[in-house]
Amino acid sequence: MGMVEYVIETENLVKVYRDRSGGVRALDGVSVKVPKGVLFGLFGPNGSGKTTLISILVGLQLPTSGSARVLGYDCVRESIEIRKKVGLLPENYGFYEYMTAKENLEYLGRLDGLPTQELKRRIPEVLELVGLKEWVDAKVKGFSRGMTQRLALAQALLKDPELLLLDEPTLGLDPQGTTMFKKLMEQLVKLGKTVLISTHLLHEIGHVCTHAALMRSGKVIALGSLEELAKAYREAKGYSYELAVAGGAEELLRELKGVEGVTYVGLENDVIKVRASRDIGGELAELAAKYRIKTLVPLAPSWDELYQFYQGGGWE
Amino acid sequence: MMEKALIVARKEIAENLRSVRYWAIIGLFVLLYVASTYAIGFAIRGFGGLALGGRARTVLQLSNQVVNALTYIAPLLGIALGFGAIAAEREKGTIRLVLARPIYRDDLINGKLIAAAVLIVLAIALSTALAVPLAVALQNVNMTAEDFARLALLVLPATLLALAYYALALFASVNAGRSSHALIVSLVLWIFFTFILPIIAAFVAFQILGPPPAIPFNATRPFGQGQLPRQFQEYYSKYNQIVSTIQLISPTARFSSLASALFALRSQLDVYEELTAALARRWVDVAVLSTYIAVFLIASYIVFLRRQETR
C-alpha cells in the first residue's frame, strides 16, 4: 500500500481573537490531515471554527500558534503559492454588483493570473457547470441568492484548482441547485481534485463526503474516513444491516434471530433490517448464500448520527 | 510586478467611469466653478464699472475664484474616491474574493491609488476645461495663452490636494469596518482643515496680538486709495505670520498658497512673476502636501498588510 498523500496538514493550530475581555479561542489546537482526491467534510455548528480554519489555510488570517501546510506550502510564508492553486468559496463574500457575471469572472480570473485566451475558454465552461450560462451578460445586482452562490462556485472553479475550499457552499441554493452541486463535486473528485466542504448542514450535503473532521468549539472532536469513524460508533451503538429478499423469508428470519449478538430483526417490504451488538457480516454472508438474498448491505451511520455520537449530544 | 496593481486600476477606472456618482461629481464641479466665477463678475468689472486693475489682475481675480472652488472640489473628490476604497470592499465581501487570489495586499492598494490619480486628474482637468472657458466667456475677460496655461497648471496642485485627502480617506477606509465610518472621519478632517482650523488660527493670533490698532479717519484719503498706517501694517503682518504658521498643517491652506504662486504678479506691475521663481518660494507647500500623501499611504499599507480579514 502506498503512502497517503495529504493536501492539507495542520498541527496544533490555535487562533485567538483578542478583545477587551481577554480573547476568544476560535481554534484550540486543531490538527487535521486531508488526503488527496477525497471529498472532505468540515462539519460543525456555527462558531465551531470552520471558517477561521479555512481563512488560515489560504492566508486571509494568521494563526496565533501552530502550523499549517496546504499542497506542501506553508500557510504563513507561502500563502501566495497556495492561492495560485486553491479555489476558495468564502462564507461571507460579495460580487461587484454593477458588473456582469462575465466581468466579475474576468476580473477575478485576471487576478488569478489567467491569460485572456484561457479566460475566454474557462468563463463559459464554468458558467455552464453551475447553470448560469444564460446569465453571462447579466449584472450581478439582479441575481437571486441562489444565483450568486452559483456564481461564487464558478469563481472558485475558474482556475481549475487542485484543491477546492468551500465554506457553506449550499447556503441559499434551492434543492435543484444542491443536487447540481453534489454531482459537480463528485465529478471533480473523479477528476482527481480534492474538495473540502465546510458546512453545518450535514443532512443536506454531508453524505457526499467520504472523510471528515468533526469540529466543536474550536476543537476537532473526530477525524477520519466514514468507515474509520463509524467503527467506534458501531462498537458502541451496534451494527445495522439491510437484506433484500424475494419473499418466503420466514425461515431466514428465524435463523437471523438465532445468530449470537443480534438485537433486532424486522421485515418490511421484502427488506429485512438487522441490528447486532457485534460485527455479524461473516454470518450474514453465509446466510445470503444459503437463502435467496438479493442484496446484503452493512449500513453506515449518517454524519449526523456520527456527529451526535462523538460530541455526545446535539449541536450545542 | 505591477501587473496585478494595473488589473485592479483598470477595473477601478472602468467602474468609476461607468458610475453615475463620478459624473455627478464632475457636473457638480462645473456648476460650482461657473457659479463662483460668475459671482466675481461684479468684482472683475469693478464697482460701478470701475476696473480694479489691469488685465493680469483681472485674470488673477478670476483665478482666485477657480482656486477657491478647487479648495472644495479637490478634497471632496479625493474623499469620494478614498473612503470606500477598502471599507466598501470589506462591507460588500468582495475583498474576500479578491484576497483569495494570488495578489499581494500592497498591489490592491497600489491599483486603487493609480486609479484614483487617473480619475482625479481626469475630473479636475475635465471640469476646469469645461468651466473656465465658460466663465471667461461669461465675464468677457481678455485672456492670453499664458493665462490659460497658468490656469491649466492648476491641475497639478489640485491633484496634490485631492491625493492628500485621498490618502487620509484611504487610511480611514483601511481602518474602518464600514465605509460610512470612513466617510464621516474623512469629512470631519476636511471640515476641520477647511473651516475650523482657520478660525482657530485667527483666534490664536487675536489672543496673542490683541485687538488691531484703531485707524484714524482721514476724509481726504478714504480706505482703499492710500497706504494703511504703518502700525496697522505691522499688526497684520504679525497676524498673518501666526495664522500661516498654524495653517502650515492644513493641506487646504497649502494648496491655496501653492496655487496662488501660479498667478503671482510682479510688484507694482501687471505682469506675472517667473513661474519657477514663484514656485521655488512655495516649496514648503509642496513638501507638506507630499508628506500628507506619503505618510498616510505608508500608514495605510502598514495597517492593511497587518490587518486580518476576519469577516
CB contact under 8 A, B308 and A60: yes
Percent of chain B with pLDDT over 70: 83
Grouping H, G, I as helix, E, B as strand and the rest as coil, residue B245 is helix
Q: Give the residues across from A199 on adjacent strands.
A: A43
State yes or no: pLDDT of A53 exceeds 90.
yes
What's the pLDDT at B143? 73
Between residues A273 and B309, which one has the greater pLDDT?
A273
pLDDT confidence tier of residue B223, bands split at 50, 70 and 90: low
Report, in angstroms and rounded to the nearest whole number, the Rg of chain B calculated over CA atoms.
22
d(CA B23, CA B29): 10
Of A208-212, A273-277, B185-189, the range with the highest mean pLDDT is B185-189
Cell numbers that stand for A139 in this block: 449584472
- The reply to whether B278 falls in a domain is yes
Structural domain boundaries, residue B24: 3-214+226-306
Q: Per the domain annotation, does B178 fall within a domain?
A: yes
* pLDDT tens-digit readout, B104-131: 999 999 999 999 999 999 998 888 888 7
Greater confidence (A144 vs A20) lies with A144
Among the residue ranges A7-11, A104-108, A182-186, the one predicted with the least confidence is A182-186
| A57: nearest Cα among A72, A70, A40 | A70
A229-267 tens-digit pLDDT:
888 888 888 888 998 887 767 888 888 988 998 999 988
Q: What is chain A's mean pLDDT, rounded? A: 89
- The answer to whether position B98 is within a domain reads yes
Instruction: Enumerate the domain spans of chain A.
Output: 6-225, 238-311
Question: A238-311: which CATH architecture?
Answer: 2-Layer Sandwich (3.30)
Question: Residue B280: pLDDT above 90?
Answer: no
- CB spacing of A93 vs B309 below 8 angstroms: no
Place of cell 449541536: A315
Angle, CA of B282, B288 and B291, to the nearest 5°: 140
Instruction: Please determine, for residue A309, whether its predicted confidence score (pLDDT) is greater than 60.
Output: yes
Tracing cell 467503527 back to the chain, one arrives at A231
| Per-residue confidence band for B202, with pLDDT thresholds at 50, 70 and 90 | very high
Contact B103 A111 (CB under 8 A): yes
Residue B49, pLDDT > 50, answer: no
Residue type, B195: F
pLDDT bin (cut points 50, 70, 90) of residue B293 is: very high
- Taking the C-alpha atoms of residue B9 and residue B115, their distance in angstroms, rounded to an integer, is 5
Cα distance between residue B158 and residue B254, in whole Å: 11
CB atoms within 10 A of CB A6: 16
Query: Which residue has better confidence, B237 or B216?
Result: B237
Predicted local distance difference test score (pLDDT) of residue B216: 66
Confidence of residue B217 (pLDDT cuts 50, 70, 90): low
Question: How many Å separate Cα B4 from the centre of its chain?
Answer: 30
pLDDT at residue number B47: 46
Instruction: Spell out the alpha helix ranges (H) of chain B.
Output: 3-17, 20-39, 41-45, 55-82, 87-92, 94-99, 105-139, 145-153, 155-175, 179-191, 197-209, 230-246, 251-261, 275-280, 283-306
- Test the A interface: residue of B6, B17, B101, B311 with most A CBs within 10 Å: B101
Q: Count Cβ atoms below 10 Å from residue B223 Cβ, excluding itself.
A: 9
pLDDT of residue B48: 46
Over chain B, what is the mean pLDDT? Answer: 84
Q: How far apart are CA B162 and CA B251, in angstroms?
A: 9
Comparing B108 with A183, the larger pLDDT belongs to: B108
Residue B103 has pLDDT above 70, yes or no: yes
The residue among B1, B6, B8, B11 with the most chain A CBs within 10 A of its CB, best to mutate, is B11
For residue A10, give the H/E element and its range: strand A6-17
pLDDT band at A316 (very low <50, low <70, confident <90, very high): very low
Respond yes or no on whether ipTM tops 0.90.
Answer: no
Sign of CA dihedral B74, B79, B80, B82: positive
The dotted CATH code for A6-225 is: 3.40.50.300
Q: Who among A81, A90, A98 is closest to B96 (CB)?
A: A90
Give the per-residue pLDDT at B183: 96
How many Cβ atoms are within 10 Å of A37's Cβ, its own excluded? 17
Cβ-based contacts of A97 with chain B (< 8 Å):
92
Q: Which of A55, A98, A111 sits opposite B4 (nearest CB)?
A: A111
The pLDDT value given to residue B73: 85
Q: Least CA distance to B6: which residue of chain A? A: A111
Structural domain count of chain B: 1
Phi then psi for A99, rounded to 5 degrees? -105, 155
pLDDT at position B273 over 80 = no
Neighbours of B124 (CB within 10 A): 23
| Dihedral angle sign, alpha carbons of residues B248, B250, B251, B254 | negative
Confidence of residue B2 (pLDDT cuts 50, 70, 90): confident
What CA dihedral angle connects A81, A87, A89 and A94, to 10 degrees? 70
Whether A165 contacts A54, CB under 8 Å: yes
What is residue B158's predicted lDDT score, i.e. its pLDDT? 92
Q: What is the pLDDT of residue B311?
A: 54
Residue B233 has pLDDT above 70, yes or no: yes
DSSP class of residue A210 equals S
Q: Which among A172, A159, A34 is positioned nearest to A91, based on CA atoms?
A: A172
pLDDT of residue A23: 82
Strand runs labelled E in A179-227: 194-199, 211-216, 219-225
Asked whether residue B92 is domain-assigned, the answer is yes
Between CA A259 and CA A278 the distance in angstroms is 11
pLDDT-above-70 percentage for chain A: 97
Q: Does A83 contact B102 at a Cβ distance shorter than 8 Å?
A: yes
Inter-chain CB proximity B97 and A92 less than 8 Å? no
Of the pLDDT bands very low, low, confident and very high (cuts 50, 70, 90), residue A1 is very low
CA distance B11 to chain A (A): 7
Q: List the single residue in B with minimal CA-CA distance to A113.
A: B102
In a domain, B220, yes or no: no
Return the H-helix or E-strand segment holding A273.
strand A271-276
How far apart CA B48 and CA B129 sit, in angstroms, is: 31
Question: Which amino acid does the sequence have at B285?
Answer: D
- Position A21 pLDDT exceeds 90: no
CA distance A265 to A240: 10
**Position with higher pLDDT, A298 vs B199:** B199
Question: Quick check: B97 and A95 CB within 8 A?
Answer: yes
The pLDDT of A5-21, averaged and rounded, is 90
